[in-house]
């Protein structure tokens, strides 16, 4: 099962690792961070279960499918 929302297809994003101080990145580098969506298992009206993000869960988008 893919780590993305079944409804809006939201998936992970890569970000971070930027520092305005040049020496901080030279001597103590920080790598890029992967931000993962908050996926929850939800039951749809036809009885199946899928992973959806909490934004779709709060909007009750899983009930109308």
The pTM for the full model equals 0.75
Question: In this predicted structure, what is the pLDDT of residue 1?
Answer: 56
Structure tokens at 9: 């297809």
DSSP output for 7-51: TT----EEE----S-HHHHHHS----EEEPP-EEEEE-TTS-EEE
- pLDDT tens, N- to C-terminus, the chain (65 residues): 579 999 999 999 998 766 666 666 677 777 788 999 999 999 999 999 999 999 999 999 988 77
């Amino acid at each position: 099962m893919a780590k993305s929302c079944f409804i809006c297809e939201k998936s992970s994003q890569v970000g971070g690792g930027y520092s305005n101080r040049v020496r901080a990145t030279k001597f103590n580098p920080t790598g890029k961070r992967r931000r993962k969506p908050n996926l929850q298992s939800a039951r749809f009206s036809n009885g199946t279960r899928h992973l959806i993000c909490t934004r779709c869960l709060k909007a009750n988008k899983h009930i109308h499918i």
